[in-house]
Amino acid sequence: MKLTSLKQKYSDMGKPSKSSASDEYYPSLYLEEKQIEAMGIDAVRVGTEMNMLAKVRVASVSESKGGARTMSFEIVEAGIAPAESAPDAASILYPNEKAGG
């Protein structure tokens, strides 16, 4: 599976957003309390990166006369976990050393 950035710019839509601190935005997924609990998500802060694996179902497909396409998906099942950080070179080369000592 290939992960692809979904970042877009408001200016690409022809209308730059003046109220936005950044010209960039990403599609959003909103979860209700029951969904958050079902996925086992505990306290997280805004900006925390997490990994998500999802099974989706195509809900709609449309194509305009100009050739632009849109699709929407229903998330059927999903799992989420904190993003894994890669070990640093020192911990790989010296696995028995303690940090700071």
Q: What is the SS3 assignment for 81?
A: strand
Its pTM stands at 0.59
What pLDDT score was predicted for residue 63? 92
Q: What is the pLDDT along the chain (101 residues), one digit of tens a residue?
A: 788 888 888 877 766 656 656 778 888 888 899 998 898 888 888 888 889 899 999 999 999 998 888 899 999 999 988 887 766 667 777 777 765 55
Phi, psi torsion values for 7, nearest 5 degrees: -60, 135
* 48 contacts: CB under 8 Å, gap ≥ 6: 82
The predicted pLDDT at position 60 comes to: 92
pLDDT on residue 21: 62
Phi-psi region of 14 (alpha: psi -120 to 50; beta: other; left: phi over 0): left
Rounded Cα distance, 13 and 24, in Å: 11
Task: Give dist(CA 57, CA 77) in Å, integer.
Answer: 10
Structure confidence at residue 75 (pLDDT): 92
Query: Where do the structural domains in the chain lie, given as residue ranges?
Result: 8-83
Helix H or strand E encompassing 82: strand 69-82
